[in-house]
Structure 1
Amino acid sequence: MSGSGAPTIEAPWVEGARVAVVAAQWHPKVTDALVAGAIRALDDSGVTDYTVVRVPGSFELPVASLHAAKAGYDAVVALGVVIRGDTPHFEYVCQAATEGLMQVGVSTGVPVGFGVLTCDNDPQALDRAGLPDSREDKGYEATQAALSTLAAVRQLG
């Protein structure tokens, strides 16, 4: 598992920021935990104005994230999970979600936290979901990244 070499990111105090958390519905045990981690990070950063929106799957994250960015949210956190199967579907969905979310951030200037788990199996996803026995909390981390980027963008003017 990756994780080694990851920076320690302390989400800045960004009270007053409006944040959209856009989460997939597939694999609810994992995605519900990712959302819970995102909300903890928002609370830790003083963000009280947030909306959680659920979409069917990770493929749908970019379009909903684009609408959130265009609706005036200061940052978007995209959360989902794609588990490798026996067909190339995994590669297509992962690539579409990744490129789509990057395009949302670049085209709108709104920071997008990337919390889409791309795992080979269920245990890998559960280990990254932020559950009590997980080793990582990618929902929290994706939110920290979005808020830190928001603070940096604000600093740049």
Structure 2
Amino acid sequence: MEHFEKGVTPSDKQLNGSDLRVLIVHTRWNLPIVEALVKGAKETMISKHNVLAENIVIESVPGAYELPFAAKALIQSAQTQGSSASSDLLASATDLLGDLTTSADKKPDSPNPGAKKAKKGAFDAVICVGVLIKGSTMHFEYICEAVSQGIMRVGLDSNIPVIFGVLTCLNDEQAHNRAGLVPNGHNHGEDWGSAAVEMALVKNRAL
């Protein structure tokens, strides 16, 4: 039988996220494990997909149940700020047109006009990161279901890719393994970082 390797097969396309702005919302519940996942997602986007560090915004919430609300609120806030910034930019451009000169030796304001700057405004993708570990009550099942449905709904309602980065583990060992904190473990944050870039590019792709 052919060897089967569990996990996601990397995209065969070049995923260049240099023009993307990504939000990571993470919980402070089980924070040591969550921090490893956030680090994996962030470093993958920067080193593998060229996302600028300054274009990755990281926010935290108490627990997993709060993730959908925070993601939705931050998406809406960023979109509003982006609309305001566009209006201000248009006004500035209009003012600038009235002051145009034909001077050939006019120097640019920036010493490096070709350098990329941090983006402002709307996010191109969101990653919701958390770690749920089963306890002795039904709390685990209720939270898993609510968070899963909530995160999916935010993505569909906002038309922004929202990556489900919530581990739902039966014990501590599973969580540590999936955060890459034990030998032979794998940090799933790396997969979520790549997924965020890929889905943002899918959304923006012209067909």
- Greater alpha carbon shift after TM alignment, 96-105 vs 42-51: 42-51
Is 1:66 matched with 2:66? no
Q: Which residue of 2 aligns with 1:47?
A: 51
Uncovered stretches (5+) of structure 1, i.e. residues with no partner: none
Runs of 4+ in 1 over 6 A off after TM superposition: none
Q: For 1:79, what is the secondary structure of its paired residue?
A: strand
- Greater alpha carbon shift after TM alignment, 53-62 vs 37-46: 37-46
Q: For 2:185, what is the secondary structure of its paired residue?
A: coil
Q: Which residue of 1 aligns with 2:28?
A: 25
Q: Would you say the 8 A contact 1:69–1:75 is kept in 2? A: no
Q: Which residue of 2 aligns with 1:127?
A: 177
Identify if the C-alpha distance between structure 1 residues 93 and 18 changes in structure 2 by more than 3 Å, giving closer, same or farther. Answer: same
Is 1:56 matched with 2:59? no
Q: Which residue of 2 aligns with 1:4?
A: 6
Q: Would you say the 8 A contact 1:130–1:139 is kept in 2? A: no
Is 1:147 matched with 2:200? no
2:15, 2:150 → 1: CA distance?
26
**TM-score between both structures, scaled by the size of structure 2:** 0.70
- Greater alpha carbon shift after TM alignment, 131-140 vs 33-42: 131-140
Q: For 1:53, what is the secondary structure of its paired residue?
A: strand
Uncovered stretches (5+) of structure 2, i.e. residues with no partner: 79-121
Q: Would you say the 8 A contact 1:21–1:79 is kept in 2? A: yes
2:163, 2:6 → 1: CA distance?
20
Q: For 2:15, what is the secondary structure of its paired residue?
A: coil
CA positional deviation for 1:6? 2.9
2:11, 2:131 → 1: CA distance?
22
Q: Give 1:45's aligned amino acid.
A: H
Q: Which residue of 2 aligns with 1:96?
A: 146
Q: Give 1:59's aligned amino acid.
A: Y
Q: For 1:141, what is the secondary structure of its paired residue?
A: helix
Task: Show CA shifts across 1:59-111 (max 9, x none).
Answer: 11111111232222111011000000111100111111111100010001101
Identity score, percent: 36
Is 1:34 matched with 2:37? yes
Q: Would you say the 8 A contact 2:176–2:182 is kept in 1? A: no
CA positional deviation for 1:7? 2.2
Number of residue pairs the alignment of both structures matches: 155
**TM-score between both structures, scaled by the size of structure 1:** 0.91
Q: For 1:51, what is the secondary structure of its paired residue?
A: strand
- Greater alpha carbon shift after TM alignment, 128-137 vs 15-24: 128-137
Q: Which has the higher strand share?
A: 1
Q: Would you say the 8 A contact 1:14–1:46 is kept in 2? A: yes
